[in-house]
Structure 1
Amino acid sequence: MLSDCAFRAQLALPEQRVLFAYWHEIADGRAMPARADFDPLKFPHLLPHLGLIDLREGFDRGYYRLAGTRLRDIYGQEITGLRLPEVFAGRWATPWYGIHSRIATEAVCAQGVVRGPTDDREHVVLSWLRLPLSDDGVRVDRILCHDMDTGEADTGMATEFTAYYAALQEPEAARA
């Protein structure tokens, strides 16, 4: 797992750095903030790129509660209301399942860059960020998503890259 500074340094886009800094600020020392702490209107320019995965009915019943207008272009369909397996199917089902599952079970932040985030979308170079939210401060009940197609010009970026950050980590000495 990366430290706070190392994770922030891995964020590919300034919009992601702003969103992560805000998430960290509203967490206010907790492992993660609640949905009620997050005010999406603070960042109107990010709204088209934001999504909210709702896990309150359990991970296996997780679905996109909200999806910004640009997510339709990225995923090739309207994803609001769709369950995770309906969005992430085919060859991408397992990697996305693993990412979202780890966020849900370990309350970690995750980010990465991937070409073709779903089948038949190979022209999309997706820079993505996932941030856990929790109403009770313990169980991840929502995942805040930021997805942006960085376009063909950014093909020099890693095509399959994922990094994780946990707000509450054990000190290195305690793990040894």
Structure 2
Amino acid sequence: MPGETELTSAYSSKVAGDLERNAEEQERIRGEIARLTAELDALEHDHGVLLNIRKALSAETPLPGRNVPRQKGGKNGKGGKASGAGRITLVELIRNHLAAGGAPCSASEITAALSAEHRDRHIQTTVVRTSLENLVAKGQARRSKQGSSVLYTAAVPAK
């Protein structure tokens, strides 16, 4: 029976090796799935941003031959409230925040910071994100991705 013991030992060793390789392959594939999921999330986010930008651009572009009426100063079209003349724009607030911060931050973080600083304003993350993407398109901000997160920084001025 010594040959039988050697054969059992060889099979046990082979099965143990196969189990180890199988577990390593599962872990490698889980990592790949996580990376692909993060990449897909980022692409879906970018797709949404691009759709919003396209919508904004098509809403702002007048059709040929049509005059678009301009609002006169003094009212913003919301029940006669003052337009806030002299008030800093949201884009300027975002640009200033990026310039002062230095560290990359997300649209949500910027929204939270600006909302805390300007309690009299209702600042929405979607509007901040769209404004950030517009700043990126103009070269006034930079976008970077860390996993599924999109982070923004101020653009470094050319020297």
- Is TM-score (shorter-chain normalized) higher than 0.5? no
Larger Rg: 2
More strand by share: 1
TM-score under structure 2 length normalisation: 0.25
More helix by share: 2
Q: Could you state the TM-score of these two structures normalised by the residue count of structure 1?
A: 0.23
